[in-house]
A and B are shown apart, each in its own frame.
Chain A
Amino acid sequence: MTVIEVGREDRGGLTLRQRWSHYLVLIYGVAMLLISINLRDSILYATVPYEDVRAGIRAFYPKGWLLDNEGDYVFRVRDMTRPDFKTTIQVQIIPISVDSTARNLLDNLLLTRAQIFGQYRQYPRAAFQLSDESTATAVNYTFVAGQDDPFLESFPTVVAGQDIVVLQREQAVIVTFQVSAERYDQLYPVFQTFLEDLDF
């Protein structure tokens, strides 16, 4: 049996069936847009748990980044897929005296880093609100980093960084984020997510 639609054309010359087909394609398009954004976020912001019982730190770092806890820090993760400067998040705990302030600590960091990094420049310090409503001190800075391997013959990279300093009992927790300056805005949400999940 053949069904013939009679008198079902609208002003645009489309039948009801044709209009519904078009609507379904539009619905498919919107659904794919939302799924794509969700898929992007689930991969870009995928994290891996890390816990150091001795230091009392629990964190979620970006999936695929290289974990390293061999240095003078609790742990450090780096995005080794970057061809230039490897984006870095580092958590460090420094014992301090009761009288120490965040300013003492940041001055000390300034003096140390100025000797290590080329063109190191620190910008005004500001209060920073953590996810648990406590207040920390944040400082932004820039420096110029070159490749360790001389055979790569690459241009130096301008690196932008941020230190978040939290004074807690007789220790200071310093959370550091360093990234190529041109991708700072793009990757800062990764650091924000890391800070929100950081527990110490």
Chain B
Amino acid sequence: MTTTSRLITPPQEDEIYPYRRVWFSIALEAGLLLAICVGMFIAFNVIGVQLPIIFRQVINIGLVALPVVLWFLFSLAREQAVSLPRQRMLTVLIVTGLAANAIGLPILQNVFQIDRWLPLADAPTRLVGYAITVGSLQEIIKYLVVRYTTYPTLFRIRLDSVAYTVASALGYSTVLNLQFALTTNTDPGTLGLEIFATTAFHIVASLLVAYGLSELRFASPSPILLPLTVVLAALIHGLAIPLRAGLINAGFSLSGGFTTPLFGLIVAIGLLVGVGSTMAFLFERAERAAREASAESGRST
């Protein structure tokens, strides 16, 4: 009897990524939110489902809570399943929501009084006005919350900035959605599209600020990079609001006027996909450049 010795290759151990994958969570949450909101629109505005007003209000409140519920399920809960979870995510969301309700909305309504002059202004004034007033105020508030609750101690990798700024975006947009749902008697179909657009605009703007924060934490950019990302976020957010409103609102014609909510949905999806992809690419490029610089310095020593 002969025995042959065999060399067994030890199994390849995959390196376990110790953080939650942020881009996957954002894509999953946005995709589910979009699917549910479009489903509501089809049910109530295309098929014409009729419900008693009390049920409609319950569905509306549920829709307002939907982005946060999805975030709880696919972001916050998954943080607990990884070896290095992010801290204070819920703090960022709640503090931003409180700041939005206590500072953002009162300043917009009582100090800027945008309802009295912005919607009636001419198109260029509307575009600039929304960027300067609504866009700047909202982005500064969200930035300050992230800056004073997490930065720089909780920023361990670049994508931490995305996780925290998206949490602040959801906190702010939920307050706006709640205010819209409680002050207008709208059907769940229309409300769903409004919620998706508001949430998408806030996430898009926050991704830009996230890039500025992460570069400032992990690289040595010019000091004006972060302010520039805040300005750009305010500009995009400010432009998106009147652009969407202009596309949705019915125009005057001989055949009558009909609102076109799907155009507004396309703007929101386009911005979310376009800016989201661009920012994912920029984050990946910055990460790769940092790895290469680290490898280069390791070789030189």
Contacts and interface: CB of A to CB of B under 8 A. Distances in A.
A192 interface: no
B140 interface: yes
B220 A3 contact: yes
B156 to A, nearest CB: 13
B269 interface: no
Interface string A25-39: 101110011011101
Contacts of A21: 212, 216, 223-227
A165 B231 CA distance: 51
Contact of A14 (B129, B152, B212, B221): B152
A39 B129 contact: yes
Given A17-B216, A25-B143, A32 B223 contact: no
A18 B152 contact: yes
A5 interface: yes
A40 interface: yes
B217 to A, nearest CB: 8
A37 B224 contact: no
A37 B125 contact: no
A7 interface: no
A32 B136 contact: yes
B117 interface: yes
B216 A28 contact: no
B116 interface: yes
B137 interface: yes
Contacts of B221: 17
A2 B116 CA distance: 52
A44 interface: yes
B68 interface: no
B147 interface: yes
B220 A22 contact: no
Given A21-B226, A24-B227, A40-B112, A32 B117 contact: no
Interface in A1-57: 2-5, 13-14, 17-18, 20-22, 24-25, 27-29, 32-33, 35-37, 39-40, 43-44
A20 B223 contact: yes
A105 to B, nearest CB: 34
B147 A22 contact: yes
B138 to A, nearest CB: 11
Interface in B24-54: none
Contacts of B153: 13
A32 B152 CA distance: 26
A100 interface: no
Contacts of A64: 120
A39 B227 contact: no
B132 A36 contact: yes
Given A25-B227, A36-B133, 18 more contacts: A4-B220, A14-B152, A17-B216, A17-B220, A25-B230, A28-B136, A28-B230, A29-B136, A29-B140, A32-B137, A33-B136, A36-B136, A37-B111, A39-B128, A39-B129, A43-B117, A43-B125, A43-B129
Instruction: List the 6 shortest-distance A-B pairs measured between CB atoms, nearest first.
Output: A32-B136, A21-B226, A29-B140, A20-B223, A24-B227, A36-B133
